[in-house]
């Protein structure tokens, strides 16, 4: 299942900036759609996304935040210190969140074995009360909350492999044990959050797994962390639903980061997550986050969707000698890592 809206690749939400040169531009989605069409959409059923409802949004973002976003969009005013908006921004963000919710419904309702919500803008930096990065509404968080509140899920696992820490999702579920959140991200990069020591708080302590890696980290480092830390912890958690915050800015061609992943690395991570879902009896879907080289986004989306649909096998790697043992030592305080 592939979710999109006919306008998601053309909506402007650039606050008057030059959309052709703004990193979060419509071509990100357009390029992925073109590559999927070339591949026959991988046999996926395409579905048109609908906007998220106010009830779905306000389960994560307070009404005052939604009102402020609407006012800023209508008046074309700056919204927060980092995120510009236009009169189309609210509609864009509502469709992105609505696509993620529809994906959760299809997966948990048995209407699709897997899926990808191919929408923009990204959402994982929006923390409930503040827009950050290029994010207005936290689509994956809205979908997870919808799954828990309305779709019968008891536990949701979110893996964020965007190169930037998913600080918004981290904060939204910081105190919750109904969501296990894991993020692999480049240390020291925007937004500068997500140290290994941040494991959540209160009843959510242990349900946040932050795995920062240094600039220059390649696919073997990322894949090792997925295989030897993330997947075992998630398997012990036994989620009912698995969602990937799928950013492609850890790709070596991305202009805003410094990691060295290839398209094949995203495919392999997706294979590991697919197999995790199969062992837990949990459906797996992906929601587009960042990635600012359009070619890397296009190839990454196709590789991820193909892997989630059953293409390829997860490669087993020995743990990398530095980052995985350190991460495993900390995470094993909360989860038994097989």
pLDDT bin (cut points 50, 70, 90) of residue 17 is very low
The residue-averaged pLDDT of 57-64 equals 98
Asked whether the whole model's pTM tops 0.85, one would answer yes
Catalytic residue list contains 228: no
Confidence tier at 9 by pLDDT (50, 70, 90): low
Answer yes or no: is pLDDT of 129 > 50.
yes
Q: What is the pLDDT of residues 134-160, one digit of tens each?
A: 999 999 999 999 999 999 999 999 999
**Other CB atoms closer than 10 Å to residue 27's CB: what's the count?**
14
Confidence of residue 18 (pLDDT cuts 50, 70, 90): very low
Tell me the pLDDT band of 20, cut-offs 50, 70 and 90: low
pLDDT for 182: 99
Q: Which CATH architecture has domain 2-331?
A: 3-Layer(aba) Sandwich (3.40)
pLDDT bracket for residue 15 (50, 70, 90)? very low
Domain segments of the chain: what residues? 2-331
Q: Report phi then psi at 244, rounded to 5.
A: -105, 125
What's 314's DSSP letter? P
pLDDT of residue 2: 83
Average pLDDT for the chain:
93
**In the structure, what pLDDT confidence band is assigned to residue 77 with cuts at 50, 70 and 90?**
confident
Per-residue pLDDT reduced to its tens digit, 279-328:
999 999 999 999 999 999 999 999 999 999 999 999 999 999 999 999 99
Instruction: Name the band, by pLDDT with cuts 50, 70 and 90, for residue 6.
Output: low
Are 245 and 289 in contact by the 8 Å Cβ rule? The answer is: yes
| Mean pLDDT, range 98-126, rounded to an integer | 97
Q: What percent of the chain lies above the pLDDT cut of 90?
A: 84
User: Between 244 and 131, where is the model more confident?
Assistant: 244
The residues, any chain, with a CB within 8 Å of residue 107's CB and separated by 6 or more, are 113, 114, 115, 241, 283, 284, 285
Tokens at 249, concatenated: 């800015």
Summarised one tens digit per residue, pLDDT across range 164-207 is 999 999 999 999 999 999 999 999 999 999 999 999 999 999 99
CB 296 within 8 A of CB 194: no
Buried b (16+ CB within 10 A) or exposed e, 90-105: bbbbbbbbbbbbbbbb
**Whether residue 37 has pLDDT greater than 90:** yes
Q: Which residue has the higher pLDDT, 73 or 4?
A: 73
> What pLDDT score was predicted for residue 335?
98
Round to whole Å and give the CA distance between 70 and 194. 30
Annotated catalytic residue: which of 125, 146, 228, 323? 125
């Amino acid at each position: 299942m592939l979710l999109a809206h006919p306008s998601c690749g053309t909506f402007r939400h650039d606050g008057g900036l030059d959309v052709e040169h703004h990193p979060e531009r419509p071509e990100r989605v357009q390029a992925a759609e073109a590559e999927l069409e070339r591949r026959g959409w991988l046999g996926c059923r395409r579905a048109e996304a609908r906007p998220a409802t106010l009830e779905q949004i306000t389960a994560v973002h307070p009404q005052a935040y939604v009102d402020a976003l609407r006012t800023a969009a209508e008046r074309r005013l700056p919204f927060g210190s980092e995120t510009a908006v236009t009169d189309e921004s609210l509609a864009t963000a509502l469709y992105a969140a609505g696509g993620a919710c529809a994906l959760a419904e299809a997966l948990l309702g048995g209407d699709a074995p897997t899926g990808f919500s191919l929408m923009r803008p990204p959402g994982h930096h929006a923390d409930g009360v503040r827009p950050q990065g290029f994010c207005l509404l936290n689509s994956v968080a809205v979908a997870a909350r919808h799954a828990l509140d309305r779709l019968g899920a008891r536990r949701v696992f979110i893996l964020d492999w965007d190169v930037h820490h998913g600080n918004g999702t981290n904060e939204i579920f910081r105190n919750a044990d109904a969501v296990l959140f894991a993020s692999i991200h480049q240390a020291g990069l925007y937004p500068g959050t997500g140290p290994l020591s941040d494991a959540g708080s209160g009843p959510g302590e242990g349900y946040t797994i932050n795995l920062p890696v240094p600039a220059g980290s390649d696919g073997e480092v990322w894949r090792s962390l997925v295989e030897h830390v993330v997947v075992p912890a998630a398997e012990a958690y036994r989620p009912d639903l698995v969602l990937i915050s799928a950013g492609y800015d850890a790709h070596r061609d991305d202009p805003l980061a410094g990691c060295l992943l290839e398209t094949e690395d995203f495919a392999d991570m997706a294979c590991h997550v697919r197999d995790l879902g199969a062992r837990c009896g949990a459906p797996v879907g992906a929601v587009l986050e960042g990635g600012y080289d359009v070619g890397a986004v296009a190839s990454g989306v196709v590789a991820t969707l193909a892997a989630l649909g059953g293409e390829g096998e997860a490669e087993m790697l020995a743990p990398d000698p530095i980052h995985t043992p350190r991460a495993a030592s900390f995470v094993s305080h909360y989860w038994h890592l097989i």
